[in-house]
């Protein structure tokens, strides 16, 4: 390793509108680089999602493919090199970022979360992709904003966005972003023959 941050690999896949980089980081608190714990991560960038907007209609299929790619890259598939006593989550958390962290980030989190709940993240069919997800178990206290309007209380997308807004007000702020979430979920169900 040459320095505290090293770009180990980078590739661009224009067809999928993404850049993929593998990065290693040595914490600056390490006094001896040989003793340092190296953090390795993969950075994925979806390049056709303009700030404060949504991808064009013709790019939405690539967004669905990108969300699935993030899930695939993030899953820890080969644990054979780890000691048997290692307790590592095979489906670790994902860090999502955008310029303000509410529009694109909130939309990505909502899409990813609902695709996961409906078993639509992988390319292989699940047993029953139309089965409703389990009822969410909220660890949050009752909303200071009050319940969703009655006509939205059964809408899982509205529930997901509302849950995000409980944690960070302003998530998914634009109507176009909410519409995008419905479109991507609809495409995922159509690809499975479920809609």
pLDDT tens-digit series, residues 30-40: 566 666 666 66
Confidence (pLDDT) at 50: 87
Residue with tokens 């529009």: 103
Confidence (pLDDT) at 67: 92
Residue from 75, 45, 76, 77 nearest 62 by CA: 45
Confidence (pLDDT) at 64: 93
pLDDT over 60 (residue 80) = no
What is the C-alpha separation between 66 and 21, in angstroms, rounded? Answer: 14
CATH 3.40.50.720 fits 48-75+90-128+147-195, yes or no: no
Residue from 71, 51, 59, 64 nearest 181 by CA: 64
Q: Domain-by-domain residue ranges, the chain?
A: 1-47, 48-75+90-128+147-195
DSSP letter assigned to residue 163? H
The SS3 of residue 83 is: coil
Q: For the residues of 4-67, what is the DSSP string, one character each? A: SEEEEEEEEEGGGTEEEEEEEE--TT-SSTTTSPPEEEEEEEETT--TTS---GGGHHHHHHHH
Confidence (pLDDT) at 1: 46
Confidence (pLDDT) at 195: 46
pLDDT over 90 (residue 191) = no
Q: Average pLDDT in the 82-86 region? A: 60
Q: What is the pLDDT of residues 47-67, one digit of tens each?
A: 888 888 899 998 898 999 899
**Buried-exposed string 146-172: b where 16+ CB fall within 10 A, e elsewhere:** eeeeeeeeeebbbbbbbbbbbeeeebb
Q: Which residue has the higher pLDDT, 104 or 153?
A: 104
């Amino acid at each position: 390793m040459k320095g505290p941050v090293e770009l180990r690999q980078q590739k661009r896949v224009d067809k999928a509108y993404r850049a993929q980089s593998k990065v290693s980081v040595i914490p600056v608190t390490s006094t001896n680089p040989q003793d340092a714990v190296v953090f390795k991560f993969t950075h994925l960038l979806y390049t056709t999602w303009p700030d404060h907007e949504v991808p064009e209609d013709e790019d939405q299929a690539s967004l669905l493919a990108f969300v699935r790619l993030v899930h695939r890259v993030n899953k820890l598939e080969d644990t054979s090199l780890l000691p048997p006593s290692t307790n590592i989550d095979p489906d670790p958390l994902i860090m999502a970022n955008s310029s303000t962290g509410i529009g694109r980030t909130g939309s990505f989190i909502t899409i990813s979360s609902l695709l996961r709940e409906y078993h639509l993240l992988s390319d292989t069919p699940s047993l029953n992709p139309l089965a409703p997800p389990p009822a969410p178990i909220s660890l949050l206290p009752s909303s200071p904003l009050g319940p969703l309007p009655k006509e939205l209380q059964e809408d899982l997308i509205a529930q997901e966005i509302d849950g995000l807004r409980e944690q960070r007000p302003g998530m998914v702020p634009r109507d176009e972003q909410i519409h995008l979430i419905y479109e991507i979920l609809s495409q995922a169900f159509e690809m499975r023959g479920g809609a």
